[in-house]
Structure 1
Amino acid sequence: MTTTAAKIETDLLPRLRRSTGPLHDDIEALLHLEAPMPLRRYGRILRGFHEFLQLWEPRVRQALPERLHPWFDARVRSPFAARDLTALALPEDGTHQTMHASALAAQQGLRLDSPAAAIGSLYVIEGSALGGQVLTPKLLAAHGLTPEHGTAYFHGFGARTGAMWREFRELAQAEAGTGESERSAACDAAVATFRALIATFGPIDAPTVAASPPRSA
């Protein structure tokens, strides 16, 4: 076997990409990030990521080795989504509670019980940071939103995002383990993470529920 062939067989990232390709397409179709983005829909997308990440981040941290906790802590993004939601202050449209419930339910199908599973799940969220970069210029042009006011989550780490993705790729290859069971656990967790995100965003296209008017005396 040639060195190149051996590398192809043992490299984790292509295997993760193959395992999750159809689900990546599914969530792109669900979120429509390339389409014009009304503020209400943008707020729902932020809400979905915030609800998911605030549950997911502590679980991934616990599954990673303790020596990687500082590395992980420097990459968490749920505070960015929370900051955007506060800055936008959009009126509640009836999906807050349903998306919270869908995020809770989605976590039940996501096993994060090993470093390999944590790495596989991280692959999904780390990769989403790259895709988010294309949305911020559109939100600036359409709504005047900036990383300081409304697009902190999708702006993420800005110019550092590409380098952080490359760093993650190297860490994933080193930390996920080389055994078949570990590689399978990473791929299973990546697939489950996509499915959990899709389930979390299930209510995204629900009709707006107007607030009930106050009763007259």
Structure 2
Amino acid sequence: MLSDKLKEETKSNHQQLEKVMVGKLRAIRSKEEYADVLKLFYGYFGGLEMEINKVIDASLLPDNADRRKTQSLADDLQSLGAAVPVKASGDDLPVLTSHLQAIGALYVIEGSTLGGKIISKMMQQQLALRDNELTFFTSYGNNTEQMWDAFKDALNYQATNPEQEAVVIAAANQTFLKFGEWFKSRSS
């Protein structure tokens, strides 16, 4: 199954990104620092979602519109009284010119919802945040695993041969790498 291959083939890049993020998240001690991290997510995911929307639609992923994260990030930033930053573009993002590349990028975004459950609890403990300041990390709430499973099911039917699988895997790896670069270059 493609979802299993993706997990294995992106493991190294995923772990590198996770290491940077977890350290940054654990160091957060104020709502302002939390907002700064949300701005990083907003900038990258916002630009990424714009590129994804150019090449994927409901015919390829029926619940595509329900999987957008940019608005919840903007809502959290507004609840925190923080400005919404510009979105990533150009070389800051992976190249997405096909639905297969978009599915690879979505693998990264959708996978983040699983970690979001843990992060939301950590942020709640560290900062006593309100629910309207955690909508991005709480994402699908009690439906997170169901949404992840539905995404993996759709993912597993997108690529029908090894060449197509390689395109999806390469896009996912590029998405992890570019997000890591974005995060590092804009973190203090």
- Does the pair score TM above 0.5? yes
1:107-156 deviation digits (Å, cap 9, x = unpaired): 2xx121112111111111100110010121222222221322x1111011
Equivalent residue number for residue 147 of structure 1: 131
Alignment check: 8 A CA contact 2:58 2:65 kept: no
Alignment check: 8 A CA contact 1:41 1:204 kept: no
Rg comparison, structure with higher value: 1
| Residue 192 (structure 1) aligned to one of 174, 178, 186 | 174
Equivalent residue number for residue 37 of structure 1: 28
1:70-100 deviation digits (Å, cap 9, x = unpaired): 521111011011111111124x8xxx87xx5
One-letter amino acid of the structure 1 residue matched with residue 75 of structure 2: R
Alignment check: 8 A CA contact 1:20 1:190 kept: yes
Shift of 1:186: 0.1
Are positions 1:120 and 2:112 aligned together? no
| Residue 12 (structure 1) aligned to one of 2, 5, 16 | 2
Within 2, Cα distance between the matches of 1:67 and 1:134? Answer: 32
Runs of 4+ in 1 over 6 A off after TM superposition: none
The Cα RMSD (Å) is: 2.1
Q: Secondary structure at the match of 1:74?
A: helix
Equivalent residue number for residue 4 of structure 1: none
Equivalent residue number for residue 83 of structure 1: 75
What TM-score results when the alignment is normalised by the length of structure 2? 0.88
Are positions 1:53 and 2:45 aligned together? yes
1:161-188 deviation digits (Å, cap 9, x = unpaired): 110000001000112x212221110000
Q: Secondary structure at the match of 1:67?
A: coil
Within 2, Cα distance between the matches of 1:31 and 1:68? Answer: 31
Equivalent residue number for residue 156 of structure 2: 173
User: Structure 1, unaligned stretches of length 5 or more?
Assistant: 1-10, 207-217
Q: Secondary structure at the match of 1:111?
A: coil
Alignment check: 8 A CA contact 1:80 1:152 kept: yes
Alignment check: 8 A CA contact 1:44 1:204 kept: no
What TM-score results when the alignment is normalised by the length of structure 1? 0.77
Alignment check: 8 A CA contact 1:61 1:69 kept: no
User: Structure 2, unaligned stretches of length 5 or more?
Assistant: none
Are positions 1:203 and 2:181 aligned together? no
Alignment check: 8 A CA contact 1:12 1:183 kept: yes
1:16-42 deviation digits (Å, cap 9, x = unpaired): 112211111111111126625323432
Are positions 1:106 and 2:88 aligned together? no
One-letter amino acid of the structure 2 residue matched with residue 190 of structure 1: A
Shift of 1:44: 2.0
One-letter amino acid of the structure 2 residue matched with residue 193 of structure 1: T
Within 2, Cα distance between the matches of 1:16 and 1:27? Answer: 16
Within 1, Cα distance between the matches of 2:121 and 2:64? Answer: 27
Indicate the percent of aligned positions where both proteins have the same amino acid. 24
